[in-house]
Structure 1
Amino acid sequence: MSFQAYLDNVEAKTGKSADALQAIAIDKGLADESGLAPGVKPGAIIDWLKRDFDLGHGHAMSIVAYFKGKRS
């Protein structure tokens, strides 16, 4: 599965784009415009995405990668 397919599936499941999820993560203090917020580990974001959006581990990891700057 391509990276874009993961992002498309996340949006289909949550109704939110990767950018929208990043905006929510910024509001929660989990991320900033340049990636993960200082001191925040990827596991914290993965746990949040699993808990609040019922994402699986692989899809949550794709969002973490997106937050860190991966685009393709």
Structure 2
Amino acid sequence: MSFAAYLANIEKQTGVSPDEFVRLATKKGLTKPGTKATPITDWLKADYGLGHGHAMAIVKLLRERSALD
């Protein structure tokens, strides 16, 4: 499965687009440089019911689109 297809499945499950996840994470302060994966995955699991693999896909998305590292 491609990464894009994985993100599409997450959007189908949550109703939240990848762009919206980036916006929400930025609003919560989770895209600042040095942010670790755990606070992000904890948020995604608690608020959206994502499993660890799907949550980590969103972390990867955030790393690609912001300065997490």
TM-score when scaled to structure 1?
A: 0.82
TM-fit CA distance, 1:55: 0.4
Quick one: distance in 1 between partners of 2:5 and 2:45? 18
Alignment match, 1:54: 49
Match of 1:43 among 32, 38, 46: 38
Alignment match, 2:12: 12
Runs of 4+ residues over 2 Å off in structure 1: none
TM-fit CA distance, 1:43: 1.1
Alignment match, 2:24: 24
Match of 1:69 among 51, 58, 64: 64
RMSD: 1.3
Normalized per residue, which structure has more strand?
1
Number of positions where the alignment pairs a residue of Structure 1 with one of Structure 2: 65
Normalized per residue, which structure has more helix?
2
Q: Which runs of 5+ in 2 are unaligned?
A: none
% identical equivalent positions = 52
